[in-house]
Structure 1
Amino acid sequence: MSVYRDLGLRPLINAWGTVTAVGGSLLAPEVLDAMREAAGAFVDLHALQARAGERIAAALDVEAACVTAGAAAGLTVATAAAMTRDHPELRARLPRASGLPDECLMLRGHRNRYDTAVAVAGARVVEVEDATGASVEELRRALSDRTALLLWMAEARSLPGSPPLAEVAAVLHEHGIPLVVDAAAEVPPRALVRQMLDEGADLVVLSGGKEVRGPQSSGMILGRRELVAACAAVAYPHHGVARGMKTDKETIVGLVAAVELFARRDEAAEQAARERMVSKLVAGLAGCADLRVRRHVLERPGIQPASIPRAYVRPLHATAAAVAERLRSGDPAVAVGVDGDEIALNPQCLTPEQVPVVVQAVIRACALVS
């Protein structure tokens, strides 16, 4: 990868996952070819956005889709659409939301650093929780004529005190309030998107640059046709609150190609391959005296997606953060996750050939910092 070495940088072995900080995912040759071809001609961006949405919706078996500049941009666009619906004169006012429904409800346990995307649209988050958690009764009490939407974080759905999505959706739909799900890094499985829509989500926001393996700067809003249309009216290339969240023609075409590949991928075979890599990671590290290793599947919000198994390594003579830093600065450089006092080795972006390399790198890093 001389392009990075020319910049004085070293490529990483990615045992962390499809995280933004190390580049999301790698693009398939078909996606790169589509983007390269798209770069060779001009096109009407409004028409391209509309047609791309149709193709993505068909591939994922949803009513409608809107391409965005990543999942965080999708949250901003979905919030703006929920606040203004089909009123263009109101869209032009954002983020000045005076006089508009400007409250976004969130269960307190669902708050995270990404919900700041709501504020970009001009809304403010109102937390829902009582002494026993975020109950349906507390949700009813929080509703008002200022409520524009509820943002549900898919990664937090299993937290204690978090009522089922279907129950939350039923309460909101009694009042005509949309439920938006942030599922940016929640696939696989692919069927989760359809499941959340069937349970009552009105819109599901998904990253294009993670498990879908599209351009990292891409995302999509999936769901009800009328609400997706309102999102498309807010999103680039329209002027307004989302104008700076550009999705260029190359990104749009690349995302369509990636989604259509994603819809055809053999998830069972990929999951089996990941299980084999985790087994080899655990077996390769099991005899090292400087660490303890175990297979682990996430049970709470952390390093998503939760469906992918990982090898969790507890260094015995150093902090997990110190070992992760040593791995990042090693040769080869390896990126890993840190979860408390363990490092997390995620097979999502590894190849089988890289597994023994990662094993040796972890053994060296645990020994060198002891």
Structure 2
Amino acid sequence: MPSIYNKLGVTTVINAADSYTMIGGSLMPAEVTDAMAEASRHFVSLEQLHLKAGERIARLTRNEAAVITSGAAAALTVATAACMTGADEAKARQWPLHDGTKNEVVIHRCQCNGFDIAIRQTGATLVEIGDSGGTTVAELEAALGDSTACVIYFDTPQYAKGALSLEEVIRISGLKGVPVVVDAAAQLPPVSNLWHYTERGADLVIFSGGKTLRGPQSSGFIVGKERYIAACRLYVGARNSIARPMKVGKEEIAGLVAAIERYVNLDHAAMKEQHERLVGRLCAGLNQAGWNAERAYPGPTGQDYPLVHLKLDRQAGVAEQLSKQLLDGTPSILVALMPDKRGLALNPLHLNEAEAEQIVTRMSVLYGWLSQQADGSDRLV
């Protein structure tokens, strides 16, 4: 029986890059799809389901409270709106908000990124502090005032340069009574990150459901203090609010709960060994074929797993051409570029051993072909 993708004429991809939204995030295991199928067979109160699912996730992740959203970007919108209005249901229905509302969100300038729109679409004004050269305590203190709804902190290595430490941000903001929201969308593994941010004092922490957790791609969740999660609940479910277009279906709620339950109960040491084994096999096979491959650590946004870095001692542009060859070939293989774009990064997170062998085979052919280029131009066409 042909797959839905064959029927539609859509090419499936071997994912050696990352949990990218553009290719579907991750693959859901049977526990998740079974839970979603079961949820699809019954009518329930969506509000009750949200509440009970949040309670379950809070227990699983060792947090005071939790709420489900339709992805991590939606969680940014929900968390921002919640900090602007608090648990005032009347205000939550009064968008756009008027003068007198806390409508400023403090963010490090070095952490501004493409997800800012999820914050700004609430009507909030971004108050940027510092720059890539650094941020001072005085700059943060001066930015916090009566109109400050929250501080949003993106906790990934690429946004660390120039930013105050999360501990310092939490300390200073706490003295001013301003909540700190941490975007940790892709910060798994380690599993302990599910509770360590709140243990460090963060008020709300955002995770994606469709990346390492392998839940539905259109799912995410927020964990944190009950007083702030209670405000977030005003913006999920069937309520008419600014986040109504981001509502989560009962199937995604059930699937995400199943995904989190599965993840926290995994043998994480065994998973780490599997990642190391895949990286070792890729490095050995690629080096045997003539490439210069080595183990790298940590993951692309600082996660606790290794990568393969394939360095190309060739002119600029070859890495992009090589990645295109891999993506356009059969099987279609997606890889990432190294930061300097002069090499490839291969990620074991969503690979199995058979796919690793396919990658080695394809790369072996490409190396032989590239080595025989008579004109020395390094063109891969």
Q: After the TM superposition, which parts of structure 1 deviate over 4 Å for at least 4 consecutive aligned residues?
A: none
- Secondary structure (helix, strand or coil) at the match of 1:167 reads helix
Aligned sequence identity (%): 38
Contact 1:17/1:349 (<8 A) preserved: yes
Query: Residue 165 of structure 1 contacts residue 200 of structure 1 at CA under 8 Å; is this kept in 2?
Result: no
- Pick from 304, 307, 315 the counterpart of residue 304 of structure 2: 307
Would you say 1:327 and 2:293 are equivalent positions? no
Letter in structure 1 aligned against 2:295: R
Q: Quote how far apart the aligned CAs of 1:149 are.
A: 0.6
- Counterpart AA for 2:52: R
CA distance in 2 between counterparts of 1:88 and 1:243 reads 14
| Amino acid in the other structure paired with 2:265 | R
1:17 is paired with a residue of what secondary structure?
A: coil
By how many angstroms is 1:94 displaced? Answer: 2.6
The worse-fitting range, judged by mean Cα deviation, of 254-263 and 308-317 is 308-317
What displacement does 1:160 show?
3.4
Q: Contact 1:182–1:206 at 8 Å: present in 2 too?
A: yes
The 5 A counterparts of 1:337-356 are 337-339=336-338, 340-356=341-357
Name the SS of the counterpart of 1:30 in structure 2: helix
Greater CA drift, 45-54 or 151-160:
151-160
Matches of 2:247 and 2:312, distance apart in 1: 43
Q: Does 1:271 align with 2:277?
A: no
Q: Partner amino acid for 1:257?
A: A
Change (3 A) 1:214 1:15: same
Tell me the SS of whatever aligns to 1:233.
Answer: helix
Equivalent residue number for residue 297 of structure 2: 297
Contact persistence 1:97–1:123 (CA under 8 A): no
Q: Matches of 1:163 and 1:58 in 2, distance apart?
A: 31
| Partner residue, 2:215 | 214
Contact 1:17 1:346 in 2 (8 A): yes
Cα deviation, residue 306, structure 1: 3.0
SS at match of 1:66: strand
How many Å separate the matches in 1 of 2:214 and 2:131?
40
**Partner residue in 1 for 2:102:** 101
Q: Deviations over 1:211-270 (max 9, x none)?
A: 111100000000101100100112232111100002101110111111111110111110
Report the counterpart of residue 111 of structure 2 in structure 1.
Answer: 110
Instruction: Provide TM-score, normalisation by structure 1.
Output: 0.94
| Alpha-carbon distance in structure 1 between the residues aligned to 2:279 and 2:163 | 31
Separation of aligned partners in 2, 1:95 and 1:205: 24
Query: Partners of 1:157 and 1:16 in 2: how far apart?
Result: 17
Corresponding residue SS for 1:349: coil
Q: Name the residue aligned to 1:247.
A: 248
Matches within 5 A, 1:280-295: 280-289=281-290, 291-295=291-295
Tell me the residue number matched to 1:141: 142
Q: How does 1:1-370 map to 2 (within 5 A)?
A: 2-129=3-130, 132-156=133-157, 159-289=160-290, 291-298=291-298, 303-304=300-301, 306-317=303-314, 318-339=317-338, 340-366=341-367, 367=369, 369-370=379-380
| 8 A contact 1:110–1:156 mirrored in 2 | no
In structure 2, relative to structure 1, the CA distance for the partners of 1:305 and 1:185 (3 Å cut) is farther
Once the two structures are superposed, what CA deviation does each residue of 1:33-87 show, in whole Å capped at 9, x if it has no partner? 1111111111100000000001111111111000000000000000000000021
Are residues 131 and 15 of structure 1, via their aligned partners in 2, closer, same or farther at CA, if it must alter by over 3 Å? closer
1:305 deviates by: 5.0
User: What is the CA deviation profile of residues 277-309 of structure 1, one whole-angstrom value per residue up to 9, with x for unaligned ones?
Assistant: 1111111111344x422211248xxx3353221
- Which whole-Å CA distance do the structure 2 matches of 1:360 and 1:98 have between them? 63
Q: What displacement does 1:365 show?
A: 3.9
Cα deviation code 1:96-148 (max 9, x no counterpart): 45431111111122111112210121112111116851222211111121111
Please tell me the residue identity of whatever aligns with 2:258: A
Query: More displaced, 204-213 or 150-159?
Result: 150-159
Single out whichever of 155-164 and 243-252 deviates more from structure 2. Answer: 155-164
Shift of 1:162: 2.4
| SS at structure 1 position matched to 2:270 | helix
- Structure with the greater alpha carbon radius of gyration: 2
Q: Counterpart amino acid of 2:352?
A: T
CA distance 1:350–1:175, change in 2 (3 Å) = same
